[in-house]
Chain A
Amino acid sequence: MTDVRALPDDVAETIGRTQYEETGEFPVERGYVWTTCSSVENGNPLFWDDDVAAEITGGPVAPPTMLSVWFRPHHWAPGRTGEAQPLQVHFDLKERFSLPEAVISDNTITFHEPVRPGDVVSSRQVLRSVSEEKTTRLGTGRFWVIDVEYRNQRAELVGVESYTGFGYRRETQA
């Protein structure tokens, strides 16, 4: 548990609050499904054979582990002036605490309703906790836990991802 009294007020007040409610920039599509399956040589007929998909899942679905794919912004888009980040709360915390580097150390994904081609997936981020300063072999910084909830266009929960991030400063940067 985070002792919120040990955190700056502006950070403490964001804990448990919904941030960055966003809708995916494109509908779920099969091209990415096949590219992903190809990248790991996944021959599951559910993703390649429409008859199998119809029989087992009532039509095509995306691999469950592609959940985060549908909320990652384009690298560039018309009118965009800055770099869009896929897990903005993580980058906000890096900046807030002046921690130039960060890694994700733990990631838990819970899968609910299947994601299907044509779905438009929305996400929202919730900061769960921020640790005090700690030193690891990477450097000195803070751990934080961020949940990302995903829903389809019918507001059905399709999954929840929970990330543990570690923002840090390498010793040579101290």
Chain B
Amino acid sequence: MTILTLDEVKEGEELPPLSYDVTATTVVLGALASRDWRPMHHDHDFAVHRNGTRDIFLNTPNQAAWFERYLTDWTGPRGRLGRMRFRMKGSVFPGDTMALSGSVRTVEVDDTGCGWVDLDLALRVGDQTCTECSARIAVPVTADDNPWDRRSGRWRP
């Protein structure tokens, strides 16, 4: 089981890339898992004729879940998300191969002793960036530190 600690993280470091072939099942499963019943995430005709898009497309909460999985694959289970910001620039459709990438912007310890990593993440299809995400995740400062133990004033995401 991976337990990434803060001393192992370097500014500018690139995360291992993740590639995934998106199908209609990926889109629909993600929409239903996030309880998002809006038709552009499951109804091809609605997506094309009403929304004017090429097909049904991945919804935002499911993209958040993809980015979370991507981050915690890297940190292991002691990584605790503090904040995520998404900017949607394009859609991800069935038939697309989406590629997640990320790099470490900053590494710091706040004045409560919590270790934080700020990252720039992207979800791309081919040459197009579909979603940009900036994320802040707490990572143990030492092997016996656990960000999940933090509450109220000791947790400042």
Contact = CB atoms under 8 A, between A and B. Distances in A.
A39 B30 contact: yes
- Size bracket, chain B contacts: 35 or more
Given A41-B69, A52-B1, A170-B52, A106 B35 contact: no
Nearest to B1: A45
A174 to B, nearest CB: 14
Given A63-B68, A64-B81, A106-B87, A111 B35 contact: no
A129 B106 CA distance: 31
Given A44-B72, A72-B35, A109 B64 contact: yes
Grouping DSSP codes into helix (H, G, I), strand (E, B) and loop, the B interface class, with mixed when no group exceeds half, is mixed
Contact of B60 (A32, A58, A104, A114): A104
B109 interface: no
A23 interface: no
A65 interface: yes
B47 interface: no
B86 interface: yes
Nearest to A109: B84
Interface string A53-77: 0001110000111101100100100
A43 B1 CA distance: 11
B113 interface: no
B93 interface: no
Contacts of A106: 85-88
B33 A109 contact: no
A46 interface: yes
A42 B88 contact: no
A110 B81 CA distance: 8
Contact of A111 (B61, B81, B87): B81
B134 to A, nearest CB: 9
Most buried by B among A58, A65, A108, A170: A65
A46 B69 contact: no
Contacts of B68: 40, 42, 63-65
Interface in B1-58: 1, 20, 26, 29-30, 32-37, 51-52
Nearest to A35: B33
Given A40-B66, A52-B77, A68-B61, A112 B157 contact: yes
Interface of A: 32, 35-46, 52, 56-58, 63-66, 68-69, 72, 75, 86, 101, 103-114, 170
29 contacts: A32-B35, A36-B33, A36-B34, A41-B20, A42-B65, A42-B73, A43-B73, A44-B69, A44-B77, A45-B1, A45-B77, A56-B78, A63-B65, A65-B81, A65-B84, A68-B34, A68-B61, A69-B61, A72-B36, A75-B37, A104-B60, A105-B87, A105-B88, A107-B64, A109-B85, A110-B82, A111-B80, A111-B81, A112-B155
